[in-house]
Amino acid sequence: MSEISLISTNIRQDSKPLRIAVLVSGSGSNLQVLIDAMQAGALPIEIVGVISNREDAYAITRAKDADIPVAVLSHVASGKRMGIKTFENHASSQLALWQPDLIVLAGFMRVLSADFIDNAPAPMINLHPSLLPIYKGLDTHQRAIQAGERHHGCSIHVVTAELDAGTVLTQALLEIHQRDTADSLQARVQKLEHQLLPWTILLLAKGALSLDHAQAANQQSMSLPTLPLKLYLND
């Protein structure tokens, strides 16, 4: 029995699956993990749609192979790359049609506006390749190595208007090896991402982790705890 199956037997069962929309920009390996878990019955979710801001993202193929609706919002009719406001208008309309319970940013590489986030039909979570709050933004693996960090990993946090600054829900941790390069560290962290994302979504789906509490904590004084729950997975 898988770890996900084990935990699902210990948390209350809900009759309706959690409706999830996923925003992607690249290969979609984390999307594939969710698809596999959904199809195997290990996660009580329904992926209602995938939005990609790149027409060449392999995640599109993964979604179509699983018969999941896809919206590709990369270019306008003239062939020009879609600006962020145009993207957000189209994405908002699509999400309104799908009516997800949760929006997951998995390798999504555009910065969303506060207006889009605040008016989305569901809360958003993002998978970020560092142990937040350190190393927000890009090139996290190289930055961790150059800083001489002993540990690195990935975090899942609530999406807010400030980049990678929302309340951290869960994290996965590994030790940086002396021989690690940015590429090797990225590959090792990605293995943790493939565990952390389904675990976190399972906790949300079963009510063991509340985004309402997380969002409230994010708005409270910094003197109060801002991490309602951390799930640590070690490599």
Identify the three-state secondary structure at position 8. Answer: helix
Q: Is 15 annotated as a binding residue?
A: no
Task: Report the relative pairing of strands 45-52 and 151-158 from DSSP bridges.
Answer: unpaired
Residue 3: predicted pLDDT:
37
CA 43 vs. chain centroid, Å, equals 15
Ordered by where they begin, the domains of the chain are 18-212+227-232 (3.40.50.170)
Residue 93 identity: S
28 is in an annotated binding site: yes
Cβ proximity of 27 and 58 under 8 Å:
yes
- Whether the ω angle into residue 129 lies within 30 degrees of 0, i.e. cis, is no
pLDDT of 219 higher than 90: no
Residue type, 117: I
Query: pLDDT, tens digit, for every residue of 93-150?
Result: 999 999 999 999 999 999 999 999 999 999 999 999 999 999 999 999 999 999 999 9
Tally Cβ neighbours within 10 Å of residue 135: 21
pTM more than 0.75 = yes
Rounded Cα distance between 169 and 186, Å, is 21
Q: Please determine, for residue 34, whether its predicted confidence score (pLDDT) is greater than 80.
A: yes
CB atoms within 10 A of CB 81: 11
**Whether the Cβ atoms of residue 164 and residue 120 lie closer than 8 Å to each other:** no
Known binding residue 126? Answer is yes
Contact present, 90 and 7 (Cβ < 8 Å): no
- On the question of pLDDT at 218 being above 70, the answer is no
Q: Is 25 annotated as a binding residue?
A: no
User: If you search the block for the tokens 């990369």, which residue do you land on?
Assistant: 74
Bridge partners of 72, per DSSP, are 52
Dihedral (C-alpha) 212, 231, 199, 7: value to the nearest 10 degrees?
-100
pLDDT bracket for residue 211 (50, 70, 90): confident
207 annotated as belonging to a binding site for a ligand = no
Render pLDDT for 146-175 as a digit per residue (tens, 0 to 9): 999 999 999 999 999 999 999 999 999 999
> Catalytic site residue 128?
yes
| Catalytic, out of 128, 152, 157, 194 | 128
